Amino acid sequence: MNVAASIPSVRHTIIVAAPREHAFEVFTRGIDRWWFRDHSIGAEPLKEVVMEPRPGGRVFERGIHGAECDWGRVLVWEPPARLVVSWQIGGDWQFDPEPAHASEYEVRFVEEGPARTRVEFEHRHFERHGKAGRNIRDNVEKGWAKLLAAYAATASSV
Q: What is the pLDDT of residues 39-50, one digit of tens each?
A: 999 999 999 999
- The pLDDT of residue 157 is 75
The length of the chain in residues reads: 158
Cβ atoms within 10 Å of 79's Cβ, excluding its own: 14
Q: Place 112 in a pLDDT band, splitting at 50, 70 and 90.
A: very high
Q: Which residues pair with 124 in a beta bridge?
A: 104
- The pLDDT of residue 46 is 96
CATH architecture of the domain with residue range 3-156:
2-Layer Sandwich (3.30)
Q: Is the pLDDT of residue 5 over 70?
A: no
Q: What's the rounded Cα separation, in Å, for the pair 21 and 76?
A: 16
> From edge to edge, which strands make up the β-sheet containing 46-51?
10-16, 116-124, 103-113, 82-87, 68-78, 58-63, 46-51
Q: Give ∠ CA 39-136-48 in degrees, rounded to 5.
A: 20
Average pLDDT over residues 77-87: 98
